[in-house]
Amino acid sequence: MKKSIVKNLNSNNFIIVAGGIIIILLLSLITFKQSQIADIKYSINKKNTEIHNINNEIKVEKLKIDESSRSDIIEQKAMEELGMIYRRQDQIEYITVD
């Protein structure tokens, strides 16, 4: 009878230890996967920030293009930065072509 009790205790202990090891392994796997998910989320956020910054740069460049093609801004820059003025009547010369 003592041997069967000892045998039952040994098999119960084995089941408890094996179950504990399985639980620890599962918890380790869950922790590892959560770490991978956090890394992926960080990468996604980093890429989204890069996309946002690039979109802002595109907007700035589009504004520069719009500014450079507006005739009123071109005229203002020509007068202020280059010192250009409108021609006077006495500066006009006509050429006759035969």
For the full predicted model, state whether its pTM sits above 0.75: no
d(CA 84, CA 42): 54
As a whole number, the mean pLDDT across the chain is 87
67 CB-near residues (< 8 Å, 6+ apart): 73
For 41-69, write each residue's pLDDT tens digit. 999 999 999 999 999 999 999 998 887 78
Question: Looking at 17-26, 27-36, 63-72, which range is the least confident one?
Answer: 63-72
